[in-house]
Each structure stands twice: as C-alpha cells, then as structure tokens.
C-alpha cells in the first residue's frame, strides 16, 4: 500500500497570491488562495503616474505573506502590447525584485469593464472615480489566473 504524506501533496495548491490591477492613479489589489481558486478584493492603493507608495505595498505584503504576485497585463483588444503593458511588466519586475517572490502576468483585457458591469448589475454606485472597481478587477485577474493555471 502506497501512502502519500502531506508533504508530498502539491505544495502549489496552498499558495497565497496577491493580484494587482495596475493603473497610473490607482492600483487594485486582491488576495487569493490557489487551493480554492478564489480571491477577495482589498482596498486599492493610490499611485502617482503609475508609481505606487511602496510602503503601502510593503504593509500589504507583510499582512498577507503571499507566495507570489499576479499582475494584470492590459493588452489591446487585438492582443498587441501598448505602453501600459510595459509599465505593468516593470511593476511586476519590481515586486519580484523587492520581495524575491515570483511574479506572473495575466491578460486583463476587459477586467475593469467586467468589474463595472458587475457593480451596475448589483445596483452599485456608477461613480467609478469615487467608488473604485480596481480591487474587483484585481480579484477577477487573480481568479482568472487560478483557473488558467490549475493542475
């Protein structure tokens, strides 16, 4: 009889990841568990021309102790890259460099659009400047990544 020990179970299945919806004025954040393939939006952080307050990100990383990061890649609808893609990749590289944890990119086309649609369907406030959907978009990005990377 072959018995599998807990240490032999897929170690990736229990990973905690932080997802990011990169933006120039706000960055959406979500935390998720790979084992359940679900994520929860967190409060977005402010950015200045795409530069976040790294102290705020450090506090989030310290609180959630993620095993890695997933950053949305804002491709054009035809799949081509644009300037924002380069900035999102730079942000992902900085996360990796600062925290020595893997960073993954995830196609985020329509994530903000879908997040706004969800808020409207649920009867939420349509003032998206005051009522950010960035955390919800980060949640969608992270959950999409989980679904695409299930083993």
- Is residue 2 pLDDT above 70, yes or no? no
Q: Model pTM? A: 0.80
Task: Measure the CA–CA gap between 50 and 35, rounded to whole angstroms.
Answer: 31
Q: Specify the range with the lowest mean pLDDT, choosing from 29-33, 87-91, 106-110.
A: 106-110
Tokens representing 131?
A: 């009522």
Query: What is the per-residue DSSP string for 11-26?
Result: GGGG-EEEEEE--SSE
Give the pLDDT confidence of 48-92 residue by residue, as tens digits: 988 999 999 999 999 999 999 999 998 887 888 899 899 999 999
Mean pLDDT score, 95-115: 82
In the 8-state DSSP scheme, what is residue 122? T
């Amino acid at each position: 009889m072959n018995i599998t020990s807990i240490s032999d179970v897929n170690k990736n299945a229990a990973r905690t990841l932080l997802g990011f919806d990169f933006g120039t004025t706000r960055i959406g954040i979500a935390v998720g568990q790979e084992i359940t393939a679900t994520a929860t939006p967190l409060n977005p952080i402010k950015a200045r021309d795409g530069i976040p307050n790294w102290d705020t990100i450090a506090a989030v990383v310290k609180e959630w102790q993620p095993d890695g990061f997933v950053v949305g890649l804002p491709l054009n609808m035809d799949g081509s890259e644009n300037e924002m893609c380069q900035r999102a990749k730079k942000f992902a590289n900085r996360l990796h460099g600062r925290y020595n944890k893997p960073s993954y990119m995830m196609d985020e086309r329509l994530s903000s659009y879908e997040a706004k649609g969800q808020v409207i369907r649920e009867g939420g406030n349509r003032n998206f400047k005051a009522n950010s959907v960035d955390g919800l978009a980060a949640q969608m990005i992270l959950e999409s990544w989980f679904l695409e990377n299930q083993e």
